Amino acid sequence: MPARLKLFLPLILFVVLALFLMRGLSLDPKELPSALIDKPFPVFTLPALGRDELLDKEAVTGEVALFNVWATWCVSCRVEHPYLTQLAGQGVAIYGINYKDEDTAALGWLRELGDPYIASIADREGTLGLDLGVYGAPETYLVDADGLVRYRHVGVVDQRVWGTILQPLYQQLQQEKESQ
Amino acid sequence: MIPEIGHFALILGLALALVLTVVPAWGAWQRNVSAMSLAPGLAMGMLAMVFISFVCLCIAFLQDDFSVTVVASNSNSLLPPIYKFSAVWGNHEGSLLLWGLILCLWTAAVALFSSQLPLLVLSRVLSVMGAIAVGFLSFSLLTSNPFARLLPSVPADGNDLNPLLQDPGLIIHPPLLYMGYVGFSVAFAFAIAALLGGRLDASWARWSRPWTNVAWAFLTLGIMLGSWWAYYELGWGGWWFWDPVENASFMPWLAGTALLHSLAVTEKRGLFKSWTVLLAIFAFSLSLLGTFMVRSGVLTSVHAFATDPARGLFILVFLAIVVGGSLTLYALRAPAVSSRVSFSWLSRESLLLLNNVVFLVATLTVLFGTLFPLIMDALGQGKYSVGPPYFNAVFVPLMALMAPFMGIAPISRWKRDSGQRWKAELLVPGIAALACAVTLPLFGEQYNLWVALAVLLAAWVVFGMARDFWFRVSGRSGAGGSLKRLTPSYWGMVLGHLGFAACVVGVVATSQYSIEHDLKMSPGESETLAGYEFRFVEVAPVRGPNFVADEARFEVYREGRNIAKLAPQKRRYLAGGSVMTEAAIDPGLFRDLYIAMGEPIGEQGAWAVRLHYKPMVRWMWLGAIFMGLGGFITVMDKRYRSQPRRAAVPAKGAQYAR
């Protein structure tokens, strides 16, 4: 009875959809493809923004630090910037990754808004971003003293994000470092 | 103490919902009248319990009871009382309770206003509503208890409500939206009851119609408010982003629009029965899917609540039971044979079918675009995001495709019509619409083809309707026409279609003619935009109840005359330290002037400023208000209100019962 069978079509479509939704539950759209979590920070050699020196992985790792991907073309970066400055004031180590940006614009931005970064890696071509798996700015990576990426946050870091997610992890990593 | 009362009342509400699900359904199965008669009372009891529970949560918020977790995370003692109240639904747990409350309201409303319904049907409908309530109330109690306490370490003050939500629009946006979302559960319950009873007929459609119309009207207004809020609060003048959560509310709206029109055919002509039932299931399923997407974290969105896999799993299981169950029932019980009533290609039925197809395709394309990132991720194809270009590219042509037929619809006749007649009737409206399309865009800055096209389509819809209106009022349609003979249903249709036309013009004009300037301005400077001169007077610090702000004072001049003073703010909220832009808008029917502050630049008091000139942006929301009003007005139609209870209908109802 084909007429009756046709009425099963919506049900079949729904079952397929439900299977996808179920799979979706175990995927986090905000999460880094897990490849880099607990893996070493990618190796790189790139110029430091506004300084006459080259930075590499060894230069920026060794202590627990945040790596903040930012750019002057990124509106949300403006939003989180004051909070990063505040964090830097509290002694949190933050490195910048100036992502696909122009040096002059980026330096102007730091002059105007303040510079919370120990140093900014000038990733003009986005090569480091590619290795890190950056989708867009802002993103913030928490890297431990051994140079392993421990957490990745997509989007603005504000008091809520810092207080609930990053800070507990940051403190835990620091304790781990001291106990070593 | 009060939160515990609320918690307990919620548990009682769940218990009543369980009884409501089981007892009347058993009564309907066994034809046990006393079991069936319990349904309305149970519905009322459930409402009373959930209402008490909701009131308790409101009290906890208003009294700053920071020992309650949701209060501590979403309120603050500095928050103005009205926002403490709206903070109740500014979070996952509270909004879910609001959802449950509204579901109980709809259930009780069905119990109250359905005295003409045969008891058998009423008990089945209420029992289905009860089952949905079981799902939502247990979701609330098991995974998202709003009354959970933070003991023993009670914080001294709360975390504050997200400043974006501290806004009048957001006080009523969620309740309206939920009224719409949840309201589709009534149409759904009627559809399931009809499938269970095995009779899908005109009376079924007549019973569902007013409920569907009201739910749709609420949803329309809810979406409208959301869009309006985004426009003035997010600070960059956008009004629709195709964000997954916006889509989550838009999809039930699209399906609901198809349902409204399809119900008309089923009621008047007894056609499209299976189709209408499927749409009723579909509209509510999309509401549930929306809930799943917002609260499970499967998609990234600006709206998403704090998520938790347990919650996602719960809704998914619930979704599978409700949607899977109802579609199985549909597959087994819907009439498979097409109706014997026939209609020709040129008829009102065909036009309404076309409407249905367009809206369904629109719903599916939005659904596909929304779920695409999830599907690709699940298939291991990597991360994708689908943006406005996709949605605009598929959605706009679909709507444009429909408008020409909308102009014909009001004058069209049921069953069989003739192209000759259409041509004769619509020649004048067609020429008038064309004339408007040629002339009206001349008032814009420059002639714009897209605007001309939008005006053509909108004017065609309006004039087609005007033709029909005149036809009816002048009495040419038959026995002595007059204004009084026009039914509320008819007025509802007129308002709804006028609203659609206004939306089309508003959307196209504002996207084509809008001008925005991002620039650096210092006090004393001025900038001219679309003939308006914006003078930046000064920046002054101001203090609000729970924020401090830099307020820029602008004066707007046109042809030397001061027409507006605008004061956008850059606010810093004290509790969370978040920084918000509060745009200043000079609204007008034909144009909005809009100023938002960026960041301070340098030491000399200069600011990054964004100036907008947005022509006709209000038409869009005005159109949505018209549509919403149209939906409400239809309910006043006599044929829904006073059924001749003792005469013809009980016989029909009795048949239905058998």
Question: What is the model's pLDDT at position A20?
Answer: 86
Q: Closest Cα to residue B84, out of B145, B161, B7, B177?
A: B161
Q: pTM for the complete prediction? A: 0.81
- pLDDT bin (cut points 50, 70, 90) of residue B601 is confident
Residue B579 to residue A7, Cβ atoms within 8 A = no
Please name the residues in contact with B613: beta carbons below 8 A apart, sequence gap of 6 or more.
B514, B515, B516, B529, B530, B532, B591, B592, B593, B594
Average pLDDT of span B483-487: 78
Residue A159 to residue B319, Cβ atoms within 8 A = no
pLDDT per residue rounded down to tens, chain A (180 residues)? 567 788 888 899 999 988 888 887 776 655 555 457 778 888 888 888 888 888 888 888 888 999 999 988 776 787 788 889 989 988 899 999 998 888 888 888 888 888 999 999 988 877 888 788 776 678 899 998 888 888 888 778 888 888 888 888 898 888 888 877
Written as one string, the DSSP assignment of B333-397 is: HS--SPPS----SSSHHHHHHHHHHHHHHHHHHHHHHHHHHHHHHHTT-------HHHHHHHHHH
Q: Closest Cα to residue A157, out of A102, A107, A83, A95?
A: A83
CA angle B411, B417, B422 (to 5 degrees): 50
What is the four-CA torsion angle of A146, A149, A150, A153, rounded to 10 degrees?
150
- Predicted confidence (pLDDT) at residue B657 exceeds the cutoff of 70: no
What is the four-CA torsion angle of A111, A115, A121, A124, rounded to 10 degrees?
-40
Distance between CA atoms of residues B118 and B645, nearest Å: 10
**Tokens at B532, concatenated:** 């308006």
ipTM here: 0.81
- Predicted confidence (pLDDT) at residue B582 exceeds the cutoff of 70: yes
Domain ranges for chain A = 42-179
Please state at what angle helix B388-408 crosses helix B419-439, rounded to 10 degrees.
Answer: 130
- H or E stretch at B59: helix B33-62
Residue B296 to residue A15, Cβ atoms within 8 A = no
Domain ranges for chain B = 1-161, 162-264+274-334+382-398, 515-618
Q: Closest Cα to residue B492, out of B632, B397, B594?
A: B632
Q: Considering CB atoms only, which of B278, B298, B576 is closest to A10?
A: B278
Q: For residue range B421-462, list pLDDT tens digits in order.
A: 888 888 888 999 999 888 888 887 778 888 999 999 999 999
Question: What is the model's pLDDT at position B645?
Answer: 42
Pick the more confident residue, B624 or B384. B624
Residue B298 to residue A79, Cβ atoms within 8 A = no
Question: What is the model's pLDDT at position B34?
Answer: 92
Question: What is the model's pLDDT at position B358?
Answer: 94
Q: For residue range B233-290, list pLDDT tens digits in order.
A: 876 678 888 888 888 899 999 999 999 999 998 888 888 888 899 999 999 999 998 8
**Tokens at B584, concatenated:** 């200043």
Pick the more confident residue, A27 or B378. B378
The CATH code for residues A42-179 is 3.40.30.10
A chain contacts of residue B327, beta-carbon cutoff 8 Å: 10-11, 14
Pick the more confident residue, B378 or B18. B18
Average pLDDT of span B329-358: 83
Question: What is the model's pLDDT at position B169?
Answer: 81
Question: What is the model's pLDDT at position A77?
Answer: 81
Question: What is the model's pLDDT at position A1?
Answer: 53
- Counting residues of chain B whose pLDDT is more than 90, the rounded percentage is 45
Q: For residue range B264-280, list pLDDT tens digits in order.
A: 988 888 888 888 999 99
Distance between CA atoms of residues B356 and B276, nearest Å: 10
* Residue B579 and residue A156 in contact, taking contact as beta carbons nearer than 8 Å: no
Residue of A nearest to B607 (CA): A112
Average pLDDT of span B642-656: 40
Question: What is the model's pLDDT at position B649?
Answer: 37
Q: For residue range B175-229, list pLDDT tens digits in order.
A: 999 999 999 999 999 999 999 988 777 888 888 999 999 999 999 999 999 899 8
Question: What is the model's pLDDT at position B303?
Answer: 56
Residue of B nearest to A86 (CA): B577
Laid out side by side, the sheet with B584-586 consists of: B515-521, B606-615, B591-601, B584-586
Range list of β-strands (E), B23-67: none
Q: For residue range B99-114, list pLDDT tens digits in order.
A: 999 999 999 999 998 8
Question: What is the model's pLDDT at position B586?
Answer: 92
Best of A1, A7, A90 to substitute, by most chain B Cβ atoms within 10 angstroms, is A7
The one-letter amino acid code at B7 reads H
Residue A21 to residue B579, Cβ atoms within 8 A = no
Q: For residue range B122-175, list pLDDT tens digits in order.
A: 999 999 999 999 999 999 999 889 999 887 778 888 877 877 788 888 888 889
| Residue A167 CB-density burial (10 A; 0-12 exposed, 13-18 middle, 19+ buried) | middle
Chain A stretch 15-34, residues whose beta carbon is closer than 8 A to a beta carbon of chain B: 15, 17-18, 20-30, 33
CA angle B252, B390, B592 (to 5 degrees): 75
